[in-house]
Each structure stands twice: as structure tokens, then as C-alpha cells.
Amino acid sequence: MIVIKVWCLPNAIEDKLNRLHKAIVGAVVPISELGVKSENDMVCLFPADLMKYGLGQEIIVEIDGVPDVPRKNLTVREQLAGCVGKTVLALYPDARVECSAGEFKSSGRWSSVKPKS
């Protein structure tokens, strides 16, 4: 499962976080190689930062659990990082946004969901 963590967001009301969540889902679903059909196929996390200084100036987005897509793996991850990064930037235009997408690593992971064959 793809997990997207958005760090260093400024304090936001629930409405803005919901808009951001929907926008991120909307950026991921069109990338057919990922197999994400809806928000149920991914998780978006908005961890709170204990330090308020500088929040919103720089936003870090980490994407984990990207499935291994043969022959296009790097291209798909770069497309995903670009789409999600631009989506976050659209809602926070004054921020510097960094987005990285890592591939799925099977060792050291556990899931209650059985892989699709």
C-alpha cells in the first residue's frame, strides 16, 4: 500500500487538510501503473510537528510503498513524486516543496492484506 506522509505543514483547519488529501488522491489515481483506484488503496498522513517555527516554509513529502513496476519503475516514481509535489505546491504556493517516492521493499514489511496474484 502506498503511504504518503506530508511533513511540516502549517497549522490548518480540517477543511484544508481534507482538500489536500483529496487533491493528493486525485494526483495518484491517474497513474495507472500504481494500481490505485481510490483513497482506499493508499494512506495519507499529516504528522503534527512539535516545533511551530518555520512550518509551511518548507514542506517535505515522503511516499513509501510504491509497487515495483517492471521496466518503468524509476519513471513511474518520478512521475508520482512530481504529481504529488505539484499538488501540494498548488495549495501552499509560498512553500518550498520536496517530494520523494521510494519503491516497495518486501523484506522487513508485514501487512494484513494478502498480495494480489
Using CB atoms within 10 Å of the CB of residue 2, give its burial: 0 to 12 exposed, 13 to 18 middle, 19+ buried.
buried
Band (71; pLDDT cuts 50, 70, 90): low
Percentage of residues of the chain with pLDDT beyond 90 = 61
pLDDT at res. 7: 94
How far, in Å, CA of 81 to CA of 86, rounded? Answer: 8
pLDDT at res. 32: 92
Q: What is the pTM of this model?
A: 0.84
Task: Walk me through the domains of the chain, giving residue ranges and CATH numbers.
Answer: 2-103 (3.30.429.10)
